[in-house]
């Protein structure tokens, strides 16, 4: 399948049925592992909800929380009819205001999900273009490395900084990616607001879901 064909197939798929399935506060609530899953991870306020909405072409399939770090569950969305894949919205990390016990519970949930989910094909780690890779992002990347889950780094809010600044932060993020065994070397640079890179990322999500 050519890149153009994949992009068009992804566009058609996401233009169809996309529905919220369930929230899983613990592994006991996970849906049956019968469909490929792509997980979205990122620190609080990185623009994860906006990116999910942009990819799916919806305005509020994933709602942004008023309070960063409020989402404490794995949220599953089904794509396609019949279901072709699931998108998994993971809890935002870097939650300075959350109690320590809550943070530890979130970390445990994410670690257990990443290590034990056979249908998880890929993770996307979102990095705010205005700030670059933070220590909490490195922690998430290390968790994925240790779980042997391949992941793509996705730069968000790329329209919010100058082109020269974006070029520098992309280069720095690529250098960081090379230090991690499970990270893809190629970055996705996106803007949910402007639509930059969304079609390409949508095609990458579908390509990853079709693996194996």
User: What does the pLDDT look like over 150-164, one tens digit per residue?
Assistant: 999 999 999 999 999
Mean pLDDT of 31-55: 95
| DSSP string across 65-91 | PSSTT---SEEEEEETTTT-EEEEEPP
pLDDT value, residue 67:
46
> In residues, how long is the chain?
212
pLDDT value, residue 106:
83
Among candidate residues 108, 110, 126, the one with its CA nearest the CA of residue 45: 126
Whether 5 has a pLDDT exceeding 80, the answer reads yes
Q: Is 156 left (phi over 0), alpha (psi -120 to 50) or beta?
A: beta
pLDDT value, residue 63:
59
Across all residues in the chain, what is the average pLDDT?
Answer: 91
Q: CATH no. for residue 128?
A: 3.40.50.300
Distance CA 16, CA 183 (A): 30
Q: Could you tell me the residue range of the domain that residue 76 belongs to?
A: 3-209
User: What does the pLDDT look like over 133-149, one tens digit per residue?
Assistant: 999 999 999 999 999 99
Distance CA 128, CA 155 (A): 6
pLDDT value, residue 66:
43
User: What does the pLDDT look like over 88-107, one tens digit per residue?
Assistant: 999 888 766 677 887 788 88
Mean pLDDT of 47-71: 75
Whether 69 has a pLDDT exceeding 60, the answer reads no
pLDDT value, residue 62:
67
Total of domains in the chain: 1
Mean pLDDT of 13-19: 96
User: What does the pLDDT look like over 20-38, one tens digit per residue?
Assistant: 999 998 999 999 999 999 9
pLDDT value, residue 143:
94
């Amino acid at each position: 399948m050519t890149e153009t064909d994949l992009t068009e197939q992804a566009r058609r798929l996401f233009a169809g049925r996309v529905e919220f399935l369930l929230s899983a506060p613990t592994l006991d609530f996970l849906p049956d592992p019968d469909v490929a899953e792509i997980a979205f991870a990122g620190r609080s306020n990185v623009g994860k909800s906006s990116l999910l909405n942009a990819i799916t072409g919806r305005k509020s399939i994933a709602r942004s929380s008023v309070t960063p770090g409020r989402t404490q569950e794995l949220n599953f969305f089904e794509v396609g009819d019949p279901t072709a894949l699931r998108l998994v919205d993971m809890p935002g990390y870097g939650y300075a205001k959350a109690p320590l016990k809550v943070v530890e519970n979130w970390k445990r949930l994410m670690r257990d999900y990443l290590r034990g989910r056979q249908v998880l094909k890929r993770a996307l780690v979102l990095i705010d273009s205005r700030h670059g890779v933070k220590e909490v992002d490195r922690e998430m990347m290390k968790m994925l490395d240790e779980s042997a889950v391949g992941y793509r780094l996705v730069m968000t809010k790329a329209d919010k900084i100058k082109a020269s600044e974006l070029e520098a932060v992309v280069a720095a993020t690529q250098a960081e990616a090379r230090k991690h065994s499970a990270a893809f070397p190629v970055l996705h640079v996106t803007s949910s607001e402007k639509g930059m890179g969304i079609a390409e990322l949508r095609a990458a999500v579908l390509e990853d879901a079709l693996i194996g």
